[in-house]
Amino acid sequence: MTAVLIGLGSALPEREVGNDELAARLGVTPDWIERRTGIRARRFADATTPTSALAAEAARAALADADTKPSEVDAFLVATYTPDHQIPATAPLAAARLGLACPAFDVNAACSGFVYALATAAGLIATGARRVLVAGAETASTLTDPGDRTVHPLFGDGAGAVLLRAGEPDEDGALLALDLGADGTGAASLIAPGSASRARLATGTERPQPDPSTYYMAMDGREVFLQAVAHMTASSRAALDRAGLKPAEVDRICGHQANIRILRAVADELGADHDRLLVDLDRTGNTGAASIPLALDRARREGRLEGGHTVLLTAFGGGFTWGSALLRWPGTAQHPRSAT
């Protein structure tokens, strides 16, 4: 069976943080942030809105979008690199908020997590699951140093979710092709050592003390740009080859929303017009594994996605990891609210 997209939803925390609010503290201008990234604002979650709450809210919207009851879901995946806790995973917590009684687990492939989770869901559907709910959710603002002008303005919090059902490859909504990749030799270029096991080993297991200097995300922006453009382009081409499609046949490109300059460079490398890019980072920043479904939901609201459109998803993140997926956008038959 083929995975077919039948529901989409998203969730953002209430608090919007504009460039002007960050710029003064970071010793830059609002325009400096926007010119380098394309980002004008992002949302920051408060203490009552953990990653699991955002994941649940987006997933609830995706279920409602497809008129599907929680009892009909066979598996629930949350892609995140900012889980509520180390144990348990975020998916069971979000599942409890939704009243789901199905298998629930996290997928961590950093900013590529949503595409990896889609691939995992497609695998579950190929082996018998009928409906799989996939959320990407982050509170990425918790992982950036508020004083780091090269990283802090880039990230925001939010979640997006899709509901997939078992179907046929010729249906609108069908997942047409996937490509995934990873290269751990690039780990140091994008890393948040935090208080995970390696940091605890380093500080001794008797009374582990997280080292605050390693808590936040460190990023080599230049290297990440180079690798992101190269791998998102190559991965997009690999997915297109598997689907027997050419870049010119792609109607919309929904790339991971890290930086408008990466998205434009990937479009240029593929020979695609920039107007085919779906952009959400201007108002949400880099929301990690949430960015692709957030951008899809906005594009749908704004009427930029039509039934039958060939949509390319492509992502790159820490690891390094990357992944691409091609799908045919669902029409009204698969996706009731697309028409409204």
Partner 1 sequence: MTTAARVAAVVAKWCQADAADLTADTRLEDLDLDSLSRLEAALGLQREFGVSIDDTRMNDAETIADVVDIVETSPAKAADGS
**Taking CB under 8 A as the criterion, which residues in 259-278 touch partner 1?**
259, 261, 265, 268-269
Q: In the chain, what is the straight-line distance between the N-terminal and C-terminal CA atoms, in Å?
A: 29
Which residue has tokens 């935090």?
194
List the catalytic residue out of 111, 152, 231, 254: 111
Q: How far apart are CA 163 and CA 118, in angstroms?
A: 10
Instruction: Say whether residue 36 binds partner 1 (CB under 8 A).
Output: yes
Q: Give the CA angle between residues 72, 73, 75 to the nearest 5°.
A: 155
Question: Catalytic residue at 102?
Answer: no
Q: Is there binding between residue 222 and partner 1 (CB under 8 A)?
A: yes
Residue closer to partner 1, measured from CB, 131 or 149: 149
Among this protein's residues, is 85 annotated catalytic? Answer: no
Cβ closest to partner 1, residue 130 vs residue 264? 264
Kindly report whether the peptide bond that precedes residue 169 is cis, defined as omega within 30 degrees of 0.
no
Shortest CB 143 distance to partner 1, Å: 22
Nearer to partner 1 by Cβ, of 79 and 250: the residue is 250
| Closer residue to partner 1, CB minimum distance, 37 or 284 | 37
Nearest approach in angstroms of CB 322 to partner 1 is 15
Q: Residues 15, 25, 35, 274: which binds partner 1 (CB under 8 A)?
A: 35
Contact (Cβ atoms closer than 8 angstroms) between residue 79 and residue 132: no
Q: Which of 88, 195, 199, 225 binds partner 1 (CB under 8 A)?
A: 225
- Tell me the number of residues near partner 1 by CB under 8 A: 15
Tokens standing for 201? 């080993």
* DSSP secondary structure letters along 238-289: HHHHHHT--GGG-SEEEE--S-HHHHHHHHHHHT--GGGB---HHHH-B-GG
Q: Which of 97, 130, 200, 237 binds partner 1 (CB under 8 A)?
A: 237
Stretch that binds partner 1, among 123-131, 151-159, 221-229, 244-252 (CB under 8 A): 221-229
**Nearer Cβ to partner 1, position 151 or 290?**
151
Interface residue with partner 1 among 26, 177, 191, 226 (CB under 8 A) is 226
Helical segments of 158-220, H only? 197-203
Instruction: Write the single-letter amino acid at 12.
Output: L
Work out the burial of residue 225: count CB atoms within 10 Å of its CB; fewer than 13 is exposed, 13-18 middle, 19 or more buried.
Answer: middle
CA distance 1 to 65: 22
For residue 309, indicate whether it is catalytic.
no
> What tokens does 213 get?
């200097």
Catalytic machinery residues: 111, 256, 286
User: In the complex, which residues of this chain contact partner 1 (CB under 8 A)?
Assistant: 35-36, 221-222, 225-226, 229, 233-234, 237, 259, 261, 265, 268-269
